[in-house]
A and B are shown apart, each in its own frame.
Chain A
Amino acid sequence: MQIRMHSLLILLIVTVLVTDLPFYCGSIIQFTSVAEAQDPPRRRRRGRPRPTPPPTPEPEKKEEVPEDEDAEYFAVVGAIIHTVTGPVVRGGTVLCKNGKIISIGTDIDVPDEAQKIDADGFHLYPGLVAFRSSGLIGSGDPQKSQDPFALGTVMGLAAGITSTWNGSRVGKLVRGGLDGLTIRKQAFPSITYTSRNPGAARELRQALEKVQEHLRALERHAEEKKENPEAKAPDDKWIRGTFATARNLLTGEAVALTRVSTINDLRLVCNLSRRFGFELLIEGAEEAWIDPGLIARTGASVILTPRIRRDADKDRNQKSGSSIENASILYEHGIPIAIRPRGTAIALWGLAGRDLGHLPMEAAFAVRGGLPEAAAIEAITIEPARILGVADRIGSIEVGKDADFIITDGDLLSYLTHVRWAVVNGKIQYDKMEEGLLDHIRPGGDEVPEPPDDHWPRRLGDPL
């Protein structure tokens, strides 16, 4: 009997050790886990302020409608609404007023004067957000660079993109005018910290060290000033160029953007970020799947191209090269990911499918590698909006957000789906059947439409 008790005790200890069970559990642990459950762990980023919550929704005041005579109403009725941050609403209505979404649901009174789209059977998604682009919204200041009639803007809208970052600002794809284009100015200091360029890496590291020392001196000065108001502040005239970048990073005013591919370089730059405590945005990250924990610990966000091809380095006795599973592995480790195609413009010269004209297809390749479809859609809507700091205005269908959305004739990730309407600031900016670029392709959803009446075969005298 005694032996049996003994062996039972050993079994218990072994079980506890092997299964990593806690020796005790208390109410405090319980509370933290509940608090964490409120906020999924993949959203938590060290040192990053929480994104501004969307403005509190205006309560539905039905009597308000006649009061506001100048208000412009816009409504989409009957669509399958993919809110992205919330549930899918089937056969619902999205009502917008003056370019903002004011209500979403199935039982909404639409004012008579509202412009209405009957979208029965169509899908409604938030407008896609292209993390980086060229040729869609001009290159810099909209007043100087944006062509309100650019074909690139139309093509972007036809691809479902309503907002994008052009390197200096996050802007909207709006046609025919220059109003309401810019959401915010946004620049990410670009840093190079790779083994290929040790000179630049040393320069950056030394700048960070020097500025960090300066910031400590400033803190000491603030303390000293309490006792001695005459104390002299440390000189900061030298803080220019790389030093200014370093100061912006160290004070959290800016997020560093870096283009890194290999796991060795990822380790270098992530360690730098953790050592100095600045925030990091990684573009590329082709080999991140090898050590996703590294990126997760750093709290970095990743902008990746699921289909990118980087051949394995056969000379290295370790994992290398790209993986189609990159997006899904990073997602599983709670790393915020945004998807971008290989090309960041819209290519009209023929090689289709690898440019911004097919952003949802690039996301579909992430699904091929195991990413859940909902996460793939997040990676081209709300995630880039968060990374660009504009999630309070775009990226999902929420009350109070901008009325920027696309209405598609099918599942966004399907290869037969076209954008039927693109709406920006509560106005139709693109209508497939009016625009004429793609109207001959499956008009009305017919799989085999009548061939369009082109000039050439008629000239040949040979009807199609």
Chain B
Amino acid sequence: MRTLSLVFLFVLLASLVVVETAGAGETIVFRVGKVVTMDDEDRVINNALVVVEDGKIAAIGRSRDLEIPAGARVIDRRELWLVPGLVECHNHTGGGSSDLHDYIYLTNPGLRTLESIVPDNPEMERARAGGVTTILTIPGSGNNMSGFGTILKTAGGTVEEAVLKAPGSLKIAQAGNPERYFYGVGRSFMNFNTRQTLRKARDYHLARTAWEEGKLQEEPPKDLHWEEFRPLFRREIVASVHTQIYQVLMTTVKMVAGEFGIRTVLDHSTFDAWKVAPLIKEDETIYTINGPRQIFYDRTQRRIMGNAARWWQAGIRKLGVNTDAPVVPQEELFYQATMACYYGWTPYEALRGVTRIPAEALMLDHRLGSIKVGLDADFCLWTGDPIDPRSSVEMAVIDGKITYEASKKRVF
């Protein structure tokens, strides 16, 4: 009898463990009221099913067209919207709210935020509660080049589980903060310094490439200072450039994107930066990720400009928004889009600007940013339009795992 009860207890415990660790290998079907896919056809599907298998999206369709796979766990939330997980291009809280960046030289090539990542920090829970599933956490803008950023998911876990791409981007601060470096520098020196560093890095990359291709007899010495730059010059990762005010933006476009041919993401791009739009339209690969300043008060015209709206009106289509968390809390990424819309942008484009556009900007649109078969199952269930502050995230799903449920504990 005692053995029997022990066995029973064991089975009970085992079943509990199975429920807890389910995710990998399990099929989950989300039955929702609306799916905003953000795919190439911009489909919005009402009364839809999204089938998730092994952490990837396996099928999407109207509930009357799709059959629920046998043995699948069905999450029936027909009152909710399913929206791709929001992607943040400019975050500093991947390591909690401390450890912003190291202030050694004005350019610190080779430093990596990867070393300071804390995947389970409380900021990540709040990010999920705000619908943010992927962040690029980059060093601060206190010096011209503060190191390489890391792209990670907000689900927590170990660094290996969380990190999606490292290095994820090179952080360059063109102007607007590095002036505060301890001896005080102006734009002439800062641009000289940034250009000099990039040239050295490119020379290193070209020398190593030549040796790898057998064009050099002698192996150039390996230097960790410059090693991380190689994917940058191969255009496998991007440069996240802290840039604002039109003069500075012109320098960024000419130097980083033009002279060095680096794939460039214009972070912030605020104040009157939208005036440079005609210049940016020439390069298809430049992404403009605007914010967290969403307005610019133009004293000469006595007008309040919505920055995102002005970029859009000027014909910039690769347009998103960012929070610069913790400047604006990470969970308020959607609210940057809200403000952009209040000042003249359109809601659908703004939603694209926090999902698909940042995913493309980070060169991860083959995994994130939309609801397509084969992509990572990163999405959130919202009570309505995600841009509306009245709607909230009821459930956040990352890699097919439910990582936040408002019904258990509402965080935001």
Q: Using CB atoms and an 8 Å cutoff, list the residues of chain A in contact with chain B.
A: 307, 309, 311, 323-325, 348-353, 358, 361, 364-365, 367-369, 373, 413-416, 418, 436-438, 440-442, 447-449, 451-452, 454-457, 460, 462, 464
B391 interfacial contact with A, CB 8 Å: yes
**Binary per-residue interface labels of chain B (291-322) against chain A in the complex, 1 for a CB within 8 Å, 0 otherwise:** 01111110011111010011001110000000
Are B294 and A352 neighbours in the complex by a CB distance under 8 Å?
A: yes
Q: Please give me the residue from chain B that is nearest to A450 by CB atom.
A: B313
19 A-B pairs besides A352-B294, A365-B390 with CB distance below 8 A are A324-B392, A324-B410, A325-B410, A348-B304, A350-B270, A350-B271, A350-B292, A352-B295, A352-B339, A353-B339, A365-B389, A367-B389, A373-B390, A440-B303, A441-B344, A448-B346, A457-B275, A457-B277, A464-B315
Q: Which residues of B contact A416 (CB under 8 A)?
A: 341-342, 347
Contact A451 B313 (CB under 8 A): yes
B344 touches A456 (CB 8 A): no
Q: Establish whether residues A358 and B302, one from each chain, have CB atoms under 8 Å apart when the complex forms.
A: no
Q: Are B329 and A348 in contact (CB under 8 A)?
A: no
Query: Which A residues are in CB contact (< 8 Å) with B310?
Result: 451
Give CA–CA (A441, B344) in the complex, Å.
5
Cβ-neighbour of A456 out of B275, B295, B346, B387 (below 8 A): B275
Residues in chain A near residue B332, CB distance under 8 A: 307
- Assembled-state Cα–Cα distance A455/B246 (Å): 14
Complex CA gap A180/B119 in Å reads 57
Which residues of chain A have C-beta atoms less than 8 A from B302's C-beta? 436-437
Instruction: Check B309 against A441 for contact (C-beta < 8 Å).
Output: yes
Q: When the two chains form their complex, are residues B294 and A350 in contact, meaning their CB atoms are under 8 A apart?
A: yes
The chain A residue with its CB closest to the CB of B326 is A309
Bound form: Cα–Cα A152–B300 in Å: 17
Q: Per-residue 0/1 for B29-40: is the Cβ within 8 Å of any A Cβ (1 yes, 0 no)?
A: 000000000000
Q: How many A-B residue pairs have CB under 8 A?
A: 108
Select A462's contact among B278, B301, B309, beta carbons within 8 Å. Answer: B278
**Set of chain A residues within 8 Å of B303, measured between Cβ atoms:** 436-438, 440, 452
B338 interfacial by beta-carbon distance below 8 Å: yes
B304 contacts across to A, CB distance below 8 A: 348, 437-438
Fill in one digit per residue for B322-335: 1 if any A CB lies within 8 Å of its CB, else 0. 00000111001001
> What is the distance, in angstroms, from B333's C-beta to the closest C-beta of chain A?
12
Query: Contacting A449 at CB < 8 Å: which of B293, B344, B387?
Result: B344
User: Once the chains bind, are B306 and A441 in contact (CB under 8 Å)?
Assistant: yes
**A42 → chain B closest CB, angstroms:** 22
Q: Which 6 A-B pairs have the closest CB atoms?
A: A350-B293, A451-B313, A364-B389, A441-B344, A348-B297, A456-B275
Beta-carbon contact of B314 and A368 below 8 Å: no
In the complex formed, the residue of A with least CB distance to B335 is A353
In angstroms, Cα B392 to Cα A323, docked, is 13
Task: Tell me if B388 and A414 are in contact (CB < 8 A).
Answer: yes
Q: How large is the interface on B (under 10, 10 to 19, 20 to 34, 35 or more residues)?
A: 35 or more
CB distance from B332 to the nearest CB of A (A): 8
| A349, A440, A462 pick with most chain B CB within 10 angstroms | A440
Instruction: Decide yes or no whether B412 CB sits under 8 A from chain A.
Output: yes
Complex CA gap A451/B327 in Å reads: 30
Q: Which residue of A350, A351, A364 contacts B388 across the interface (Cβ within 8 Å)? A: A364
Known contacts A325-B410, A457-B314: does B341 contact A352 (CB below 8 Å)?
no
Which residues of chain B are within 8 angstroms of A438 by Cβ–Cβ distance? 303-304, 343
- Complex contacts, A311 vs chain B, CB 8 Å: 122
Q: Give bound CA distance, A440 to B304, whole Å.
A: 9
B369-410: CB near A (< 8 Å → 1, else 0) gives: 000000000000000000111111000000000000000001
Partner of A447, one of B246, B342, B346: B346
Q: How far is the CA of A449 from the CA of B342 in the complex (A)?
A: 13
Interchain residue pairs with CB less than 8 A apart (14): A311-B122, A350-B294, A351-B294, A352-B294, A352-B342, A353-B335, A353-B338, A358-B342, A361-B389, A415-B341, A451-B313, A452-B313, A454-B301, A464-B314
What's the Cα separation between A464 and B316 when bound, in Å? 11
Identify the closest chain B residue to A456 (Cβ). B275
- B391 A368 Cβ-Cβ under 8 A: yes
Complex Cα gap A413–B328 (Å): 21
- Please tell me if the beta carbons of B313 and A368 are within 8 angstroms of each other in the complex: no
Could you tell me the distance between the alpha carbons of A447 and B342 in the complex, rounded to whole angstroms? 11
Given the interface pairs A447-B346, A457-B275, A457-B314, the reply to whether A368 lies near B338 with Cβ below 8 Å is no
A451 to B392, CA, bound (A): 33
B interface residue numbers (CB < 8 A to A)? 122, 246, 270-272, 275, 277-278, 292-297, 300-304, 306, 309-310, 313-315, 327-329, 332, 335, 338-339, 341-344, 346-347, 387-392, 410-412
Q: Given A364-B390, A416-B341, A462-B278, A351–B292 Cβ distance below 8 Å? A: yes
Q: CA–CA, A309 to B302, complex, Å?
A: 34
- In the assembled complex, the Cα of A414 lies from the Cα of B341 at a distance in Å of 11
Residues of chain A contacted by B411 (CB below 8 angstroms): 324
What separation, in Å, do the CA atoms of A418 and B342 have in the docked complex?
Answer: 8
Specify the chain B residue showing the minimal Cβ separation from A440. B303
Shortest A331–chain B CB gap in Å is 15
Nearest-Cβ distance from residue A45 to partner chain B, whole angstroms: 29
Nearest A residue to B350 via CB reads: A415
A353 cross-chain contacts in B, Cβ below 8 A: 294, 335, 338-339, 342
**Smallest Cβ distance from A318 to chain B, in angstroms?**
16
Contact present for A309 and B293 (CB under 8 Å): no
- CB neighbours (8 Å) of A452 from chain B are 303, 313
A307 to B338, CA, bound (A): 15
Q: Which residue of A lies closest to B313 (CB)?
A: A451
Interchain CB contact under 8 A, B346 and A324: no
A447 to B347, CA, bound (A): 9
Q: How far is the CA of A368 from the CA of B406 in the complex (A)?
A: 12
Please, how many angstroms separate the alpha-carbon atoms of A352 and B313 in the complex?
20
CB distance from A348 to the nearest CB of B (A): 4
Report yes or no: B346 in contact with A367, Cβ–Cβ below 8 A. Answer: no
Q: Which residues of A contact B328 (CB under 8 A)?
A: 351
Given contacts A350-B270, A436-B303, contact A368 B309 (CB under 8 A): no
Please give me the residue from chain A that is nearest to B385 by CB atom.
Answer: A415
Find chain A residues with CB under 8 A from B315 CB: 464
CA distance A323 to B344 in the complex (A): 31
Interface centre among B295, B327, B390 (most CB of A within 10 A): B390
Residue from A351, A364, A369, A415 having most chain B Cβ neighbours under 10 A: A415
Assess the A348–B295 pair: CB atoms within 8 A.
yes
Q: How far, in whole Å, are A51 and B329 apart by their CA atoms in the complex? A: 40
Bound form: Cα–Cα A437–B292 in Å: 21
Taking CB atoms, residues of chain B closer than 8 Å to A361 are 338, 342, 389
Q: Measured between alpha carbons, how far is A441 from B341 in the docked complex, in Å? A: 10
Bound form: Cα–Cα A464–B294 in Å: 21
Give which listed residue, A441, A451, A460, contacts B278 with CB less than 8 A: A460
Q: Interface centre among A367, A437, A441, A462, by most B CB within 10 Å?
A: A441
Q: Which residues of A contact B388 (CB under 8 A)?
A: 364, 414-415
Chain A residues lying within 8 Å of B342, measured Cβ to Cβ, are 352-353, 358, 361, 415-416, 418
Contact: A368 with B392, CB < 8 Å?
Answer: yes
A441 touches B343 (CB 8 A): yes
Per the bound structure, the CA–CA distance linking A449 and B345 in Å amounts to 10
Tell me how far the C-beta of B42 lies from the nearest C-beta in chain A, rounded to whole angstroms: 16
A368 with B389: CB separation less than 8 A = yes
In the complex, the answer to whether B329 meets A367 with C-beta atoms within 8 Å is no
Q: In the complex, what residue of chain B is closest to A348 when comparing beta carbons?
A: B297
B327: shortest Cβ distance to chain A, in Å?
A: 8
**Chain A residues whose CB sits within 8 angstroms of the CB of B296 once the complex forms:** 350
- Cα A351 to Cα B295 in complex, Å, equals 7
| Interface contact A413-B295, CB-CB below 8 Å | no
* B393 vs chain A, min Cβ distance (A): 10
Q: Please name the residue on chain B nearest to A438 by beta carbon.
A: B304
Contacts of A309 in B (CB 8 A): 329
Q: Which residues of B contact A415 (CB under 8 A)?
A: 338-339, 341-342, 387-389
